[in-house]
């Protein structure tokens, strides 16, 4: 991150990012196994703390061969209005399609705030499993949810790679004539794997030099402008209402804003929220007031769109 750190962010956020900046740089690029081990350790460390904080219950299962994590809110003694129909959220976690950087930390706070169950698909990852393996896995989990939930009672969301995958899943559903979920949360992602965005020209570079290059292990030999891979080139007019979210020091801010604009141009009801001065996908790993605010926005959006009457 560039200095000086803006005074417009909370002290908690500034302190957290400063601590990350102070971490030593490894002498050599980590292997895939090392990156996954590190990401898993973070998920467990932060996730266990959040489970205790929110009283959310974590479960593990398998859906048509795809491992999933399931989250259930703590029992609520209050009489809260709810729909007679079962309602659920489906998460596709971030991590550049190579690690799991969010199957716990993207979901626990949202589960608690919405008081809705959440399922997170642990889809196959690159480079061992390039596109479309992750889409196939997401589709399998979504189809299983359709057996017990009306599409109008399913919310879909993801952060970073998970946002990409969520949009790809919608394109796949349209192509196969399947019903779409009621709402999409597209949090700090890209729908264009063919072109770099403007933010990458002045924000700190990702290790590969560009977001597009970082997607190579996932995209494989698929042409980058293929609509199923880069949904910004697809017909977006049938997409559900969408909440897009990013921050001003997020390398994917441009991409998130471009997708929001493409949705709006296609006549989709879409909202864009941009946070001040925070890094990419900060809500998935930084404990700060801005993180609470981000999850509040997400929760209100899904409750409103899924007809829960608590927004």
Tell which residue, 183, 224, 65, has the closest CA to residue 133. 65
For residues 79 and 110, the answer to whether their CB atoms sit within 8 Å is no
Is the per-residue pLDDT at 99 higher than 60? yes
Give the pLDDT band (50/70/90) at residue 96.
very high
pLDDT at 311: 46
What is the reported pLDDT for 216?
93
Mean per-residue pLDDT of the chain: 93
Is 139 a residue whose pLDDT tops 90?
yes
- State how beta strands 242-249 and 183-187 pair: parallel
pLDDT tens-digit map of 207-266: 666 778 889 999 999 999 999 999 999 999 999 999 999 999 999 999 999 999 999 999
- Lowest-confidence range among 6-20, 79-93, 254-268, 287-301? 79-93
Per-residue model confidence (pLDDT) at position 79: 47
Q: What percent of the chain has pLDDT over 90?
A: 82
pLDDT at 287 (0 to 100): 95
For residue 214, what pLDDT is reported? 86
Q: Write the DSSP string, 8-26.
A: TS-HHHHHHHHHHHTSPPP
Which residues, other chains included, contact 173 with Cβ-Cβ below 8 Å and sequence gap of 6+? 139, 142, 179, 180
Q: Where are the beta strands (DSSP E) in 64-151?
A: 66-72, 88-92, 118-121
Query: For residue 309, what pLDDT is reported?
Result: 53
**Does residue 310 have a pLDDT over 70?**
no
Instruction: Tell whether the model's pLDDT for residue 82 goes beyond 80.
Output: no
pLDDT at 83: 54
Q: Could you give the domains of the chain?
A: 42-73+84-305 (3.40.50.1820)
Q: How far is CA 85 from CA 111, 152, 242, 307, 308, in A?
A: 17, 10, 22, 10, 10
pLDDT of residue 272 exceeding 50, the answer is: yes
């Amino acid at each position: 991150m560039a200095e000086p750190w803006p005074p417009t962010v909370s002290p908690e956020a500034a302190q957290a990012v400063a601590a990350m900046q102070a971490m030593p740089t490894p002498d050599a690029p980590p292997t895939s196994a090392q990156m996954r081990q590190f990401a898993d350790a973070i998920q467990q460390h932060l996730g266990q703390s959040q489970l205790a904080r929110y009283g959310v219950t974590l479960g593990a299962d398998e859906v048509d061969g795809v491992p999933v994590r399931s989250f259930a809110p703590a029992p609520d003694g209050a009489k809260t209005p709810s729909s007679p129909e079962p309602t659920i959220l489906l998460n596709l976690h971030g991590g550049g399609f190579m690690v799991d950087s969010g199957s716990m930390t993207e979901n626990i706070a949202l589960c608690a705030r919405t008081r809705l169950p959440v399922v997170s698909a642990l889809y196959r990852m690159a480079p061992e499993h390039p596109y479309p393996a992750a889409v196939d896995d997401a589709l399998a989990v979504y189809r299983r949810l359709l057996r017990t939930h009306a599409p109008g009672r399913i919310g879909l969301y993801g952060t970073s790679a998970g946002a990409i995958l969520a949009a790809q899943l919608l394109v796949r559903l349209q192509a196969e004539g399947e019903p779409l979920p009621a709402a999409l949360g597209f949090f700090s992602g890209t729908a264009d794997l063919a072109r770099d965005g403007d933010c990458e020209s002045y924000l700190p570079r990702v290790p590969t030099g560009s977001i597009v290059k970082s997607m190579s292990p996932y995209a494989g030999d698929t042409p980058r402008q293929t609509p199923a891979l880069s949904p910004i080139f697809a017909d977006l007019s049938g997409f559900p209402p969408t909440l897009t979210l990013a921050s001003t020091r997020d390398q994917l801010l441009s991409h998130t804003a471009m997708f929001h604009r493409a949705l709006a141009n296609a006549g989709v009801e879409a909202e864009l929220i941009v946070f001040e001065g925070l890094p990419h996908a900060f809500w998935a790993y930084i404990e700060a007031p801005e993180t609470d605010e981000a999850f509040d926005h997400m929760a209100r959006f899904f409750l409103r769109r899924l007809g829960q009457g608590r927004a």
